[in-house]
Chain A
Amino acid sequence: MTLFRHELRQGRASLVLWTAAVGALLAVCVGLFPEMRGQMDAVGGMFASMGRFTAAFGMDRLDVGTLAGFYAVEGGAVLGLGGALYAALTGVSALSKEERDRTAELLLTHPLSRARIVTEKLAAVLAQIAAMDAALLAVGLLTAQLTGEAVPWRDLLLLHGAYFLLHTELGCLCFGISAFLRRGGAGTGMGLAAGMYFLNLIANMADRAGPLQYITPFAYCEGADILTRDALDPGPVAAGMALAAAAVAAAYGRYTGKDIQ
Protein backbone atom coordinates (compact mmCIF):
# COMPACT_ATOMS: atom_id res chain seq x y z
CA MET A 1 0.00 0.00 0.00
CA THR A 2 3.01 2.31 -0.38
CA LEU A 3 1.59 3.88 -3.54
CA PHE A 4 -1.84 4.29 -1.90
CA ARG A 5 -0.29 6.21 1.01
CA HIS A 6 1.81 8.26 -1.41
CA GLU A 7 -1.30 9.19 -3.42
CA LEU A 8 -3.10 10.29 -0.26
CA ARG A 9 -0.14 12.46 0.73
CA GLN A 10 0.03 14.00 -2.74
CA GLY A 11 -3.70 14.76 -2.70
CA ARG A 12 -3.87 16.02 0.89
CA ALA A 13 -3.70 19.75 0.12
CA SER A 14 -6.34 19.53 -2.60
CA LEU A 15 -8.64 17.47 -0.36
CA VAL A 16 -8.34 19.95 2.52
CA LEU A 17 -8.93 22.97 0.27
CA TRP A 18 -11.94 21.53 -1.55
CA THR A 19 -13.49 20.14 1.64
CA ALA A 20 -13.01 23.48 3.41
CA ALA A 21 -14.49 25.44 0.49
CA VAL A 22 -17.51 23.18 -0.10
CA GLY A 23 -18.00 22.69 3.66
CA ALA A 24 -17.96 26.45 4.30
CA LEU A 25 -20.51 27.05 1.53
CA LEU A 26 -22.71 24.28 2.90
CA ALA A 27 -22.48 25.64 6.45
CA VAL A 28 -23.40 29.15 5.27
CA CYS A 29 -26.37 27.83 3.24
CA VAL A 30 -27.75 25.64 6.05
CA GLY A 31 -26.94 28.27 8.69
CA LEU A 32 -29.13 30.79 6.83
CA PHE A 33 -32.21 28.56 7.14
CA PRO A 34 -33.69 30.04 10.35
CA GLU A 35 -33.43 33.51 8.86
CA MET A 36 -34.79 32.43 5.48
CA ARG A 37 -37.64 30.31 6.82
CA GLY A 38 -39.86 33.35 7.47
CA GLN A 39 -39.45 34.48 3.88
CA MET A 40 -39.90 31.02 2.39
CA ASP A 41 -43.62 31.39 1.77
CA ALA A 42 -42.97 34.31 -0.54
CA VAL A 43 -39.86 32.68 -2.03
CA GLY A 44 -41.75 29.42 -2.47
CA GLY A 45 -44.49 31.27 -4.35
CA MET A 46 -41.92 32.91 -6.59
CA PHE A 47 -40.14 29.63 -7.25
CA ALA A 48 -43.46 27.92 -8.03
CA SER A 49 -44.20 30.44 -10.78
CA MET A 50 -40.97 29.92 -12.75
CA GLY A 51 -42.49 27.30 -15.04
CA ARG A 52 -40.05 24.67 -16.31
CA PHE A 53 -37.18 26.12 -14.26
CA THR A 54 -39.16 25.25 -11.14
CA ALA A 55 -39.19 21.63 -12.27
CA ALA A 56 -35.52 21.81 -13.30
CA PHE A 57 -34.49 22.34 -9.68
CA GLY A 58 -37.20 20.04 -8.31
CA MET A 59 -38.87 22.88 -6.44
CA ASP A 60 -42.32 21.98 -7.68
CA ARG A 61 -42.24 18.97 -5.37
CA LEU A 62 -40.22 20.30 -2.43
CA ASP A 63 -41.28 22.41 0.52
CA VAL A 64 -38.36 24.78 0.95
CA GLY A 65 -39.94 25.98 4.18
CA THR A 66 -38.78 22.76 5.89
CA LEU A 67 -35.16 22.07 6.84
CA ALA A 68 -35.11 18.89 4.72
CA GLY A 69 -36.56 20.67 1.67
CA PHE A 70 -34.28 23.67 2.10
CA TYR A 71 -31.25 21.37 2.59
CA ALA A 72 -32.13 19.37 -0.52
CA VAL A 73 -32.31 22.50 -2.72
CA GLU A 74 -29.62 24.80 -1.32
CA GLY A 75 -27.23 22.33 0.24
CA GLY A 76 -27.82 19.89 -2.59
CA ALA A 77 -26.53 22.26 -5.25
CA VAL A 78 -23.39 22.98 -3.22
CA LEU A 79 -22.78 19.35 -2.26
CA GLY A 80 -23.69 17.88 -5.62
CA LEU A 81 -21.78 20.22 -7.89
CA GLY A 82 -18.89 21.09 -5.51
CA GLY A 83 -18.23 17.47 -4.64
CA ALA A 84 -18.69 16.39 -8.25
CA LEU A 85 -16.03 18.83 -9.45
CA TYR A 86 -13.58 17.60 -6.80
CA ALA A 87 -14.30 13.93 -7.58
CA ALA A 88 -13.92 14.56 -11.33
CA LEU A 89 -10.63 16.44 -10.92
CA THR A 90 -9.21 13.81 -8.57
CA GLY A 91 -10.24 10.94 -10.83
CA VAL A 92 -9.18 12.43 -14.13
CA SER A 93 -5.64 13.21 -12.98
CA ALA A 94 -5.03 9.99 -11.04
CA LEU A 95 -3.27 8.08 -13.83
CA SER A 96 -2.53 10.80 -16.39
CA LYS A 97 -0.62 13.06 -13.99
CA GLU A 98 2.34 10.65 -13.98
CA GLU A 99 2.89 11.15 -17.70
CA ARG A 100 2.04 14.87 -17.51
CA ASP A 101 4.57 15.46 -14.71
CA ARG A 102 7.09 13.03 -16.23
CA THR A 103 7.12 10.89 -13.08
CA ALA A 104 5.73 7.84 -14.92
CA GLU A 105 9.25 6.67 -15.80
CA LEU A 106 10.24 6.70 -12.13
CA LEU A 107 7.07 5.06 -10.85
CA LEU A 108 6.76 2.40 -13.54
CA THR A 109 10.35 1.24 -13.28
CA HIS A 110 9.65 -0.08 -9.79
CA PRO A 111 8.53 -3.71 -9.43
CA LEU A 112 4.79 -3.03 -9.34
CA SER A 113 2.39 -4.51 -11.85
CA ARG A 114 0.34 -2.02 -13.86
CA ALA A 115 -2.82 -3.60 -12.40
CA ARG A 116 -1.48 -2.97 -8.90
CA ILE A 117 -0.80 0.66 -9.76
CA VAL A 118 -4.36 1.08 -11.08
CA THR A 119 -5.78 -0.61 -7.96
CA GLU A 120 -3.85 1.50 -5.47
CA LYS A 121 -4.55 4.73 -7.34
CA LEU A 122 -8.26 3.90 -7.63
CA ALA A 123 -8.38 3.08 -3.91
CA ALA A 124 -6.76 6.45 -3.18
CA VAL A 125 -9.32 8.31 -5.35
CA LEU A 126 -12.23 6.54 -3.61
CA ALA A 127 -10.71 7.09 -0.15
CA GLN A 128 -10.33 10.82 -0.83
CA ILE A 129 -13.93 11.08 -2.06
CA ALA A 130 -15.12 9.15 1.01
CA ALA A 131 -13.06 11.40 3.32
CA MET A 132 -14.52 14.53 1.73
CA ASP A 133 -18.07 13.22 1.91
CA ALA A 134 -17.65 12.12 5.54
CA ALA A 135 -16.37 15.59 6.45
CA LEU A 136 -19.23 17.27 4.55
CA LEU A 137 -21.78 15.01 6.26
CA ALA A 138 -20.36 16.04 9.63
CA VAL A 139 -20.48 19.73 8.62
CA GLY A 140 -24.07 19.36 7.32
CA LEU A 141 -25.37 17.56 10.41
CA LEU A 142 -23.57 19.88 12.81
CA THR A 143 -24.84 23.01 11.07
CA ALA A 144 -28.37 21.56 10.92
CA GLN A 145 -28.20 20.97 14.68
CA LEU A 146 -26.99 24.51 15.26
CA THR A 147 -30.06 25.92 13.47
CA GLY A 148 -32.09 24.79 16.48
CA GLU A 149 -34.52 22.93 14.21
CA ALA A 150 -35.47 19.29 14.59
CA VAL A 151 -32.90 17.54 12.41
CA PRO A 152 -34.44 15.23 9.75
CA TRP A 153 -31.69 12.62 10.18
CA ARG A 154 -32.99 10.07 7.75
CA ASP A 155 -33.58 12.65 5.01
CA LEU A 156 -30.13 14.15 5.41
CA LEU A 157 -28.43 10.75 5.50
CA LEU A 158 -30.29 9.70 2.35
CA LEU A 159 -29.29 12.93 0.59
CA HIS A 160 -25.64 12.55 1.61
CA GLY A 161 -25.70 8.88 0.61
CA ALA A 162 -26.92 9.88 -2.85
CA TYR A 163 -24.20 12.54 -3.19
CA PHE A 164 -21.58 10.02 -2.15
CA LEU A 165 -22.74 7.66 -4.90
CA LEU A 166 -22.74 10.58 -7.37
CA HIS A 167 -19.18 11.54 -6.43
CA THR A 168 -18.05 7.91 -6.57
CA GLU A 169 -19.57 7.43 -10.02
CA LEU A 170 -18.05 10.61 -11.42
CA GLY A 171 -14.71 9.80 -9.79
CA CYS A 172 -14.73 6.36 -11.46
CA LEU A 173 -15.82 7.72 -14.85
CA CYS A 174 -13.00 10.27 -14.80
CA PHE A 175 -10.56 7.64 -13.54
CA GLY A 176 -11.42 5.56 -16.59
CA ILE A 177 -10.83 8.57 -18.86
CA SER A 178 -7.53 9.23 -17.08
CA ALA A 179 -6.09 5.95 -18.35
CA PHE A 180 -6.50 7.20 -21.93
CA LEU A 181 -4.94 10.63 -21.36
CA ARG A 182 -1.31 11.61 -21.38
CA ARG A 183 -1.67 15.21 -20.32
CA GLY A 184 -3.71 16.58 -17.41
CA GLY A 185 -7.36 16.37 -18.27
CA ALA A 186 -8.67 18.91 -15.75
CA GLY A 187 -10.85 20.50 -18.43
CA THR A 188 -12.25 17.11 -19.42
CA GLY A 189 -13.10 16.24 -15.81
CA MET A 190 -14.74 19.57 -15.01
CA GLY A 191 -16.56 19.54 -18.33
CA LEU A 192 -17.93 16.07 -17.64
CA ALA A 193 -19.13 17.05 -14.14
CA ALA A 194 -20.77 20.27 -15.36
CA GLY A 195 -22.19 18.50 -18.43
CA MET A 196 -23.83 15.82 -16.28
CA TYR A 197 -25.30 18.52 -14.03
CA PHE A 198 -26.86 20.41 -16.94
CA LEU A 199 -28.03 17.16 -18.51
CA ASN A 200 -30.02 16.56 -15.34
CA LEU A 201 -31.54 20.05 -15.51
CA ILE A 202 -32.60 19.35 -19.09
CA ALA A 203 -34.01 15.97 -18.06
CA ASN A 204 -36.07 17.67 -15.33
CA MET A 205 -37.40 20.30 -17.71
CA ALA A 206 -38.32 17.82 -20.43
CA ASP A 207 -41.76 16.28 -20.39
CA ARG A 208 -40.19 12.85 -20.56
CA ALA A 209 -36.81 12.38 -18.88
CA GLY A 210 -36.40 9.14 -20.81
CA PRO A 211 -32.95 7.56 -20.82
CA LEU A 212 -31.25 10.74 -19.59
CA GLN A 213 -31.95 9.78 -15.98
CA TYR A 214 -29.90 6.64 -16.52
CA ILE A 215 -26.96 8.60 -17.93
CA THR A 216 -26.47 11.47 -15.51
CA PRO A 217 -25.75 10.57 -11.88
CA PHE A 218 -27.37 13.82 -10.77
CA ALA A 219 -30.71 12.17 -11.61
CA TYR A 220 -30.63 9.88 -8.58
CA CYS A 221 -29.56 12.80 -6.37
CA GLU A 222 -32.76 14.75 -6.98
CA GLY A 223 -33.75 15.91 -3.48
CA ALA A 224 -37.42 16.05 -4.47
CA ASP A 225 -37.42 12.40 -5.58
CA ILE A 226 -35.45 11.18 -2.57
CA LEU A 227 -37.63 12.98 -0.02
CA THR A 228 -40.85 11.96 -1.78
CA ARG A 229 -39.85 8.29 -2.09
CA ASP A 230 -38.01 8.25 1.23
CA ALA A 231 -35.40 6.18 -0.64
CA LEU A 232 -33.07 6.34 -3.63
CA ASP A 233 -34.41 5.20 -6.99
CA PRO A 234 -32.60 1.86 -7.48
CA GLY A 235 -32.84 1.90 -11.30
CA PRO A 236 -30.68 4.96 -12.02
CA VAL A 237 -28.36 4.07 -9.10
CA ALA A 238 -27.74 0.61 -10.53
CA ALA A 239 -27.21 2.09 -14.02
CA GLY A 240 -24.75 4.60 -12.59
CA MET A 241 -22.79 2.00 -10.67
CA ALA A 242 -22.65 -0.22 -13.76
CA LEU A 243 -21.28 2.72 -15.76
CA ALA A 244 -18.69 3.35 -13.03
CA ALA A 245 -17.67 -0.32 -13.04
CA ALA A 246 -17.32 -0.25 -16.84
CA ALA A 247 -15.10 2.84 -16.61
CA VAL A 248 -12.88 1.16 -14.01
CA ALA A 249 -12.65 -1.97 -16.17
CA ALA A 250 -11.66 0.22 -19.13
CA ALA A 251 -8.96 1.83 -16.97
CA TYR A 252 -7.47 -1.59 -16.15
CA GLY A 253 -7.68 -2.70 -19.77
CA ARG A 254 -6.09 0.42 -21.18
CA TYR A 255 -3.41 1.10 -18.55
CA THR A 256 -2.08 -2.44 -18.35
CA GLY A 257 -1.29 -2.46 -22.07
CA LYS A 258 -0.41 1.17 -22.59
CA ASP A 259 2.92 2.47 -23.89
CA ILE A 260 4.22 4.97 -21.35
CA GLN A 261 5.73 8.14 -22.82
Chain B
Amino acid sequence: MDAIVTRGLTKYYGRTRGVEDVSLAVPRGCLFGFIGPNGAGKSTLIRALLGLIRPTAGQAEVLGMDVVRDREKILARVGYLPAEAAFWPGMRVREVLKLSAGLRKLDCRRQAEALCERLRLDPARRVDELSLGGRKKTSIVCALQHEPELLILDEPTGGLDPLMQREFFALLRERQAQGTTVFLSSHILPEVQHSCARAAVIRAGRIIAAGPVTELAGAGARRVVLRGRADIERLPGVRDLQTTPEGAGFLYSGDINPLLAALAAGDVKDLTMSEPDLEEVFLHWYEEGGAGI
Protein backbone atom coordinates (compact mmCIF):
# COMPACT_ATOMS: atom_id res chain seq x y z
CA MET B 1 0.00 0.00 0.00
CA ASP B 2 1.18 3.53 -0.73
CA ALA B 3 1.78 5.95 2.13
CA ILE B 4 0.45 8.91 0.15
CA VAL B 5 -1.95 8.82 -2.78
CA THR B 6 -3.52 11.83 -4.48
CA ARG B 7 -5.98 11.68 -7.35
CA GLY B 8 -6.69 14.81 -9.33
CA LEU B 9 -6.02 16.93 -6.25
CA THR B 10 -6.79 20.57 -6.95
CA LYS B 11 -6.67 23.58 -4.67
CA TYR B 12 -7.59 27.11 -5.61
CA TYR B 13 -7.42 30.07 -3.22
CA GLY B 14 -10.24 32.08 -4.74
CA ARG B 15 -8.97 32.54 -8.28
CA THR B 16 -5.35 31.89 -7.39
CA ARG B 17 -3.98 28.49 -8.31
CA GLY B 18 -2.45 26.38 -5.56
CA VAL B 19 -2.15 22.95 -7.18
CA GLU B 20 -4.02 21.54 -10.14
CA ASP B 21 -4.94 17.94 -10.90
CA VAL B 22 -2.10 16.46 -8.87
CA SER B 23 -1.98 12.66 -8.97
CA LEU B 24 0.85 11.17 -7.01
CA ALA B 25 1.75 7.93 -5.22
CA VAL B 26 4.43 7.67 -2.55
CA PRO B 27 5.30 4.03 -1.73
CA ARG B 28 5.54 3.02 1.92
CA GLY B 29 9.04 2.91 3.37
CA CYS B 30 10.36 5.16 0.62
CA LEU B 31 12.44 8.32 0.92
CA PHE B 32 10.54 10.42 -1.59
CA GLY B 33 11.70 13.77 -2.90
CA PHE B 34 9.26 16.50 -3.89
CA ILE B 35 10.95 19.14 -5.99
CA GLY B 36 9.83 22.50 -7.24
CA PRO B 37 10.73 26.17 -7.11
CA ASN B 38 9.08 28.66 -4.77
CA GLY B 39 5.40 29.13 -5.57
CA ALA B 40 5.13 25.88 -7.54
CA GLY B 41 2.62 24.43 -5.07
CA LYS B 42 4.80 22.25 -2.81
CA SER B 43 3.52 23.74 0.43
CA THR B 44 -0.08 23.74 -0.83
CA LEU B 45 0.10 19.99 -1.46
CA ILE B 46 1.66 19.39 1.97
CA ARG B 47 -1.00 21.55 3.65
CA ALA B 48 -3.73 19.57 1.92
CA LEU B 49 -2.15 16.28 3.05
CA LEU B 50 -2.06 17.55 6.65
CA GLY B 51 -5.65 18.80 6.59
CA LEU B 52 -4.66 22.45 7.04
CA ILE B 53 -6.56 23.34 3.86
CA ARG B 54 -9.49 21.66 2.13
CA PRO B 55 -9.00 20.55 -1.47
CA THR B 56 -11.15 22.29 -4.06
CA ALA B 57 -11.41 19.02 -5.99
CA GLY B 58 -9.88 15.55 -6.07
CA GLN B 59 -8.90 13.19 -3.30
CA ALA B 60 -5.93 12.57 -1.07
CA GLU B 61 -5.19 9.60 1.16
CA VAL B 62 -2.45 9.33 3.74
CA LEU B 63 -1.65 5.91 5.23
CA GLY B 64 -4.82 4.61 3.59
CA MET B 65 -7.08 7.25 5.17
CA ASP B 66 -8.92 10.21 3.70
CA VAL B 67 -7.25 13.53 4.57
CA VAL B 68 -10.54 15.33 5.23
CA ARG B 69 -12.51 12.60 7.00
CA ASP B 70 -9.70 11.00 9.02
CA ARG B 71 -7.57 14.06 9.75
CA GLU B 72 -6.89 13.35 13.45
CA LYS B 73 -6.14 9.64 12.88
CA ILE B 74 -3.65 10.59 10.17
CA LEU B 75 -1.97 13.28 12.26
CA ALA B 76 -1.48 10.82 15.13
CA ARG B 77 0.78 8.77 12.82
CA VAL B 78 2.53 11.61 10.99
CA GLY B 79 5.45 13.83 11.93
CA TYR B 80 5.64 17.21 10.21
CA LEU B 81 8.57 19.56 9.92
CA PRO B 82 7.45 22.99 8.65
CA ALA B 83 9.69 25.17 6.51
CA GLU B 84 9.49 28.00 9.04
CA ALA B 85 9.78 26.94 12.65
CA ALA B 86 7.63 29.15 14.89
CA PHE B 87 6.90 28.52 18.56
CA TRP B 88 4.90 30.12 21.31
CA PRO B 89 6.82 32.93 22.99
CA GLY B 90 8.43 32.55 26.38
CA MET B 91 8.70 28.77 26.23
CA ARG B 92 11.78 26.64 26.66
CA VAL B 93 12.68 23.89 24.19
CA ARG B 94 11.82 21.26 26.82
CA GLU B 95 8.36 22.79 27.30
CA VAL B 96 7.66 22.90 23.56
CA LEU B 97 8.62 19.22 23.23
CA LYS B 98 6.51 18.29 26.26
CA LEU B 99 3.55 20.26 24.89
CA SER B 100 3.86 18.56 21.49
CA ALA B 101 3.96 15.13 23.15
CA GLY B 102 1.09 16.11 25.45
CA LEU B 103 -1.08 17.13 22.50
CA ARG B 104 -0.50 13.58 21.22
CA LYS B 105 -1.25 12.15 24.69
CA LEU B 106 2.19 10.55 24.72
CA ASP B 107 5.22 10.59 26.97
CA CYS B 108 8.17 11.08 24.62
CA ARG B 109 10.78 12.21 27.15
CA ARG B 110 13.20 9.37 26.42
CA GLN B 111 13.08 9.87 22.64
CA ALA B 112 13.23 13.66 22.99
CA GLU B 113 16.27 13.46 25.22
CA ALA B 114 18.08 11.14 22.80
CA LEU B 115 17.25 13.34 19.80
CA CYS B 116 18.32 16.54 21.59
CA GLU B 117 21.61 14.93 22.52
CA ARG B 118 22.20 13.74 18.98
CA LEU B 119 21.33 17.10 17.42
CA ARG B 120 23.21 18.98 20.15
CA LEU B 121 20.11 20.92 21.17
CA ASP B 122 19.96 22.32 24.72
CA PRO B 123 16.40 21.67 26.00
CA ALA B 124 16.79 24.34 28.69
CA ARG B 125 17.15 27.16 26.12
CA ARG B 126 14.30 29.58 25.51
CA VAL B 127 12.91 29.22 21.98
CA ASP B 128 12.94 33.03 21.52
CA GLU B 129 16.73 32.96 21.99
CA LEU B 130 17.41 30.15 19.52
CA SER B 131 19.17 30.68 16.20
CA LEU B 132 17.46 29.62 12.96
CA GLY B 133 19.31 26.30 13.22
CA GLY B 134 18.26 25.85 16.84
CA ARG B 135 14.61 26.42 15.97
CA LYS B 136 14.91 23.97 13.09
CA LYS B 137 16.41 21.35 15.44
CA THR B 138 13.51 21.87 17.87
CA SER B 139 11.08 21.29 15.00
CA ILE B 140 12.97 18.15 13.99
CA VAL B 141 12.68 16.72 17.51
CA CYS B 142 8.95 17.64 17.56
CA ALA B 143 8.47 15.79 14.27
CA LEU B 144 10.48 12.69 15.22
CA GLN B 145 9.99 12.17 18.96
CA HIS B 146 6.72 10.24 18.65
CA GLU B 147 8.28 7.88 16.08
CA PRO B 148 5.74 8.47 13.30
CA GLU B 149 5.08 6.12 10.37
CA LEU B 150 5.25 9.00 7.91
CA LEU B 151 7.49 12.05 8.02
CA ILE B 152 6.51 15.08 5.96
CA LEU B 153 9.43 17.48 5.75
CA ASP B 154 9.15 20.91 4.15
CA GLU B 155 12.56 22.40 3.31
CA PRO B 156 14.09 20.55 6.27
CA THR B 157 17.71 21.64 6.15
CA GLY B 158 17.35 25.45 6.07
CA GLY B 159 19.45 26.85 8.90
CA LEU B 160 21.33 23.62 9.63
CA ASP B 161 25.10 23.63 9.23
CA PRO B 162 26.63 20.97 6.92
CA LEU B 163 27.60 18.67 9.82
CA MET B 164 24.11 18.83 11.25
CA GLN B 165 22.62 18.26 7.80
CA ARG B 166 24.66 15.08 7.56
CA GLU B 167 23.45 13.98 10.99
CA PHE B 168 19.88 14.78 10.02
CA PHE B 169 20.01 12.68 6.88
CA ALA B 170 21.64 9.86 8.83
CA LEU B 171 18.65 10.05 11.18
CA LEU B 172 16.25 9.92 8.25
CA ARG B 173 17.99 6.89 6.78
CA GLU B 174 17.81 5.12 10.16
CA ARG B 175 14.11 5.85 10.40
CA GLN B 176 13.59 4.71 6.85
CA ALA B 177 15.39 1.46 7.65
CA GLN B 178 12.87 0.99 10.48
CA GLY B 179 10.01 1.34 7.99
CA THR B 180 9.22 5.06 8.16
CA THR B 181 8.16 6.75 4.92
CA VAL B 182 9.82 10.11 4.33
CA PHE B 183 8.27 12.77 2.08
CA LEU B 184 10.91 15.42 1.58
CA SER B 185 9.94 18.66 -0.09
CA SER B 186 12.90 20.72 -1.19
CA HIS B 187 14.28 23.01 -3.83
CA ILE B 188 17.83 21.92 -2.98
CA LEU B 189 18.29 19.35 -5.72
CA PRO B 190 21.52 17.62 -4.60
CA GLU B 191 19.75 16.97 -1.29
CA VAL B 192 17.02 15.06 -3.09
CA GLN B 193 19.39 13.39 -5.54
CA HIS B 194 21.66 12.03 -2.79
CA SER B 195 18.95 11.01 -0.33
CA CYS B 196 15.85 9.97 -2.21
CA ALA B 197 15.09 6.88 -4.22
CA ARG B 198 12.07 8.40 -5.94
CA ALA B 199 10.92 11.94 -6.59
CA ALA B 200 8.26 14.08 -8.23
CA VAL B 201 8.70 17.47 -9.82
CA ILE B 202 6.03 20.13 -9.56
CA ARG B 203 5.80 23.24 -11.70
CA ALA B 204 3.05 25.85 -11.71
CA GLY B 205 0.85 23.61 -9.58
CA ARG B 206 1.15 20.51 -11.76
CA ILE B 207 3.30 17.40 -11.48
CA ILE B 208 5.51 17.38 -14.54
CA ALA B 209 7.61 14.31 -13.78
CA ALA B 210 7.72 11.51 -11.23
CA GLY B 211 9.72 8.34 -10.84
CA PRO B 212 13.05 6.95 -9.64
CA VAL B 213 15.58 9.74 -9.11
CA THR B 214 18.14 7.99 -11.30
CA GLU B 215 15.67 8.04 -14.17
CA LEU B 216 14.63 11.61 -13.53
CA ALA B 217 18.24 12.73 -13.42
CA GLY B 218 18.95 10.98 -16.65
CA ALA B 219 15.47 11.31 -18.09
CA GLY B 220 16.98 9.61 -21.13
CA ALA B 221 19.31 12.57 -21.49
CA ARG B 222 23.12 12.79 -21.71
CA ARG B 223 25.37 15.78 -21.23
CA VAL B 224 27.60 15.81 -24.33
CA VAL B 225 30.74 17.94 -24.58
CA LEU B 226 32.73 17.80 -27.78
CA ARG B 227 35.92 19.43 -29.03
CA GLY B 228 35.85 20.04 -32.75
CA ARG B 229 32.94 20.47 -35.14
CA ALA B 230 29.80 18.51 -35.93
CA ASP B 231 26.48 19.42 -37.45
CA ILE B 232 24.26 18.73 -34.48
CA GLU B 233 22.16 21.92 -34.33
CA ARG B 234 19.19 20.48 -36.23
CA LEU B 235 19.42 17.07 -34.63
CA PRO B 236 16.15 16.16 -32.81
CA GLY B 237 16.78 15.74 -29.06
CA VAL B 238 19.49 18.38 -28.76
CA ARG B 239 18.78 20.90 -26.00
CA ASP B 240 20.65 23.56 -24.08
CA LEU B 241 23.22 23.90 -26.90
CA GLN B 242 26.19 26.09 -26.07
CA THR B 243 28.86 26.56 -28.73
CA THR B 244 32.40 27.90 -28.33
CA PRO B 245 35.20 28.34 -30.91
CA GLU B 246 36.66 25.05 -29.61
CA GLY B 247 33.51 22.97 -29.71
CA ALA B 248 30.05 22.60 -28.19
CA GLY B 249 28.16 21.29 -25.17
CA PHE B 250 24.54 20.17 -25.08
CA LEU B 251 21.97 17.85 -23.53
CA TYR B 252 20.88 15.03 -25.78
CA SER B 253 17.88 12.77 -25.33
CA GLY B 254 16.51 10.21 -27.73
CA ASP B 255 17.99 7.61 -30.04
CA ILE B 256 21.78 7.60 -29.77
CA ASN B 257 22.41 6.45 -33.36
CA PRO B 258 21.54 9.70 -35.18
CA LEU B 259 23.86 11.52 -32.76
CA LEU B 260 26.72 9.09 -33.39
CA ALA B 261 26.13 9.44 -37.14
CA ALA B 262 26.24 13.26 -36.91
CA LEU B 263 29.41 13.16 -34.82
CA ALA B 264 31.06 10.70 -37.21
CA ALA B 265 30.23 12.99 -40.14
CA GLY B 266 31.89 15.93 -38.41
CA ASP B 267 35.42 16.63 -37.28
CA VAL B 268 35.41 15.64 -33.61
CA LYS B 269 38.76 15.62 -31.78
CA ASP B 270 37.47 14.70 -28.33
CA LEU B 271 34.15 13.71 -26.82
CA THR B 272 32.72 13.15 -23.35
CA MET B 273 29.22 11.90 -22.56
CA SER B 274 27.91 11.84 -19.00
CA GLU B 275 24.66 11.66 -17.05
CA PRO B 276 23.51 15.15 -16.20
CA ASP B 277 22.83 15.80 -12.53
CA LEU B 278 19.29 16.47 -11.32
CA GLU B 279 19.91 20.16 -10.96
CA GLU B 280 20.92 20.48 -14.59
CA VAL B 281 17.88 18.59 -15.81
CA PHE B 282 15.60 20.38 -13.40
CA LEU B 283 16.74 23.83 -14.49
CA HIS B 284 16.33 22.84 -18.09
CA TRP B 285 12.75 21.66 -17.47
CA TYR B 286 11.89 24.92 -15.86
CA GLU B 287 13.56 27.06 -18.46
CA GLU B 288 11.94 25.30 -21.39
CA GLY B 289 8.59 24.41 -19.94
CA GLY B 290 9.29 20.77 -19.42
CA ALA B 291 10.20 19.88 -22.98
CA GLY B 292 11.59 16.45 -23.37
CA ILE B 293 10.10 14.89 -20.24
For residue A102, CB closer than 8 A to chain B, the reply is yes
A interface size (C-beta, 8 A): 20
Q: Are B75 and A111 neighbours in the complex by a CB distance under 8 Å?
A: yes
A49 lies within 8 A of chain B by Cβ: no
Residue numbers in A under 8 Å from B82 (CB-CB): 105-106, 109
- Closest-by-CB residue of B relative to A257 is B54
Give the residues from 52 to 109 in chain B that come closer than 8 angstroms, CB to CB, to chain A.
52-54, 71-73, 75-76, 78, 80, 82, 84, 86-90, 99-100, 102-105
| Contact A109-B80, Cβ < 8 Å, known A260-B47, A260-B53 | yes
Q: Separation in Å of the B76 CB from the closest CB of chain A?
A: 4
Contact between chains at A113 and B71 (CB < 8 Å): yes
A104 to B51, CA, bound (A): 12
* Closest-CB distance, A230 to chain B (whole angstroms): 46
> Are B13 and A259 in contact, CB atoms less than 8 angstroms apart?
yes
- Contact in complex: B99, A109 (CB < 8 Å): no
Specify which of A104, A108, A109, A111 lies most central, judged by the most chain B CB atoms within 10 Å of its CB.
A109
Contacts of B88 in A (CB 8 A): 6, 10, 101, 103
Which one, B53, B86, B105, contacts A259 given CB within 8 A?
Answer: B53
CA distance A3 to B51 in the complex (A): 19
Q: What 0/1 readout, one digit per residue, does chain B (1-22) give for beta carbons within 8 Å of chain A?
A: 0000000000001000000000
Whether the pair B103, A2 counts as a contact (CB closer than 8 A) is yes
Asked if B71 and A105 sit within 8 Å, CB to CB, the answer is: no
Contact check, B84 vs A102: say whether CB atoms are below 8 A apart. yes
State the Cβ distance, B18 to closest chain A Cβ, in Å: 10
Contact present for A109 and B78 (CB under 8 Å): yes
B201 within 8 A of A: no
Alpha-carbon distance between A200 and B108 when the two chains are bound, in angstroms: 53
Interface string of A99-120 (1 = CB under 8 A from B): 0011111111111110000000
Give B66 Cβ to nearest chain A Cβ, in Å. 15
Q: Is B226 in contact with chain A by the CB < 8 A criterion?
A: no
Distance in Å: Cβ of A117 to nearest Cβ of chain B: 10
Chain A residues with CB under 8 A of B76: 111
Bound Cα distance A259, B12 (Å): 11
Bound CA–CA A101/B105 (angstroms): 24
Asked if B52 contacts A260 (CB within 8 A), the reply is yes
Q: Given A111-B72, A259-B13, A260-B47, do A106 and B86 touch, yes or no (CB 8 Å)?
A: yes
Contacts of B104 in A (CB 8 A): 110-111
Q: Tell me which residues across on chain B come within 8 A of A2, comparing CB atoms.
A: 99, 102-103, 105
The distance in angstroms between the C-alpha atoms of A118 and B79, with both chains bound, is 23
Which A108-147 residues sit within 8 Å CB-CB of chain B?
108-113
Q: Which residues from chain A contact B78 at a C-beta distance below 8 Å?
A: 109
Q: State in angstroms the CA–CA spacing of A101 and B90 once bound together.
A: 13
Q: A109-B75, A110-B104 are in contact. List 4 more A-B contacts (CB 8 A).
A: A106-B100, A109-B78, A111-B73, A112-B103
List B residues at the A interface (Cβ < 8 Å): 13, 47, 50-54, 71-73, 75-76, 78, 80, 82, 84, 86-90, 99-100, 102-105, 139, 142
Cross-chain pairs A/B with CB under 8 angstroms, 24 sampled: A2-B99, A2-B102, A2-B103, A101-B86, A102-B84, A103-B87, A105-B80, A105-B82, A105-B84, A106-B139, A108-B50, A109-B50, A109-B82, A110-B75, A110-B100, A110-B103, A111-B72, A112-B72, A113-B71, A257-B54, A259-B13, A259-B53, A259-B54, A260-B53
